[in-house]
Homo-oligomer: A and B are copies of this chain.
Amino acid sequence: MTGGTSEQWSADRWARAALSRLAEPGDKMVHALLADDGPVGALARIRSGHGDLRRFAERVRRLDVRRDVAIALKVGARLVVPGDLEWPEGLQDLPVPPWCLWVRGPEQLGPAVERSVAVVGARAATPYGETQAAELAAALATAGWTVVSGAAYGIDGAAHRGALAVDGRTVAVLASGVDRVYPAAHAALLGRIAQTGCIVSEVAPGSAPMGSRFLSRNRLIAAMTRGTIVVEAGVRSGSLQTLNRATDLNRPVGAVPGPVTSMTSAGCHNAIRNKGAVLVTSAAEVVELVGRIGEGVLDEPRGPVLPADELDPHDARVHECLPRCGGLDLDALLSATALTPMVVLAALARLEEAGLAVRKDGRWRKISSARP
């Protein structure tokens, strides 16, 4: 892309647009052609139809890049290619990066996913899972993180909605062309994402969402983000493939636990047990997982701290032997605690200091609550 003439620049883009119609995502032979000959050369080789490239003949015959570009323009989509400022840095980690990306929406894709988390999961989600996905996404978006997902039913949709609910940034990566509304019931959701964030696809406008394209799409979600969180997933959920791709790319992965009785949490639990996923229960824990060093270090969660909880064992034993009313003298305390006088007196001094014990007329009693 760099160092060429403007004409070359334009021809390369055009060739990559053509490739997104001709070659399925992840095609290793096309990747090798691109590496050897560049986009224009690779396209010429495919058009020539020699040898194994004959498999593209039918698609070459039907190729109409102008039509694809016209569809893109109609929905306000643009073409993004490697070398563009908008090209997401993380995609270079893929064994076979996309030939190009088709992008709709006001956000600049690359900068938008620089601090992003994939929040994905089962289409057949439970209300618990959808609530968790939405709350997690909302909290991540509030903290300035972009929420990336696949716009599917269930967890994906809930994640996008959660980010949108707090006016956060969210990016939807589709298995179909960026013009296609899939699933159809998500037309309004996709419309809102296109108005505020980004809708992304590596296949040409107009392309249908074939099954194999969902697998390819999942690798884009994994590569574009700093880490992937699965909120709910059955043991064979496709969202677990996104998690596997993230692991392949050395991105951190997390999973939200749920009731062990819920089949849609079984894939999450298995990922934690066997796939190296970290158990996460909050956006702060997600940020700790995917953030760079020092970006989100957490203290362990704790209950409220009462002074009596922090006593050393001897002090605690003396404290528990003290009555709430009346009081005990030293001899009685020595008998009750079976500790030495020195230990008991030192403990009483510390308990008085902490406001947990009080002495009156040579007898001690406990004060149950901490001083204000």
Considering only CB atoms, which chain B residue lies closest to A62 in the complex? B335
Contact call A211/B320, Cβ cutoff below 8 A: yes
In the assembled complex, A185 has its CB within 8 A of some CB on chain B? no
Classify the secondary structure of A's interface with B: helix
Question: Which B residues are CB-close (under 8 A) to A353?
Answer: none
Known: A23-B338, A132-B260. A320 touches B279 (CB 8 A): no
Q: How many copies does the complex hold?
A: 2
Residues of chain A in range 242-281 having any CB-CB distance to chain B below 8 Å? 256-261, 265-266, 269-270, 272-274, 278-281
Contact call A256/B260, Cβ cutoff below 8 A: yes
Which one of B23, B59, B258, B313 lies within 8 Å of A258 (CB-CB)?
Answer: B258
Contact call B260/A259, Cβ cutoff below 8 A: no
Contact call A24/B128, Cβ cutoff below 8 A: no
In the assembled complex, A36 has its CB within 8 A of some CB on chain B? no
Interface size of A in residues (CB-CB distance below 8 Å): 58
Question: Which B residues are CB-close (under 8 A) to A331?
Answer: 58
Known: A211-B320, A269-B257. A340 touches B54 (CB 8 A): yes
- A residues in contact (CB < 8 Å) with B: 22-24, 52, 54-59, 62, 128, 132, 210-212, 215, 234-236, 256-261, 265-266, 269-270, 272-274, 278-282, 285, 300-303, 309, 313, 316-317, 320-321, 331, 334-335, 337-341, 343
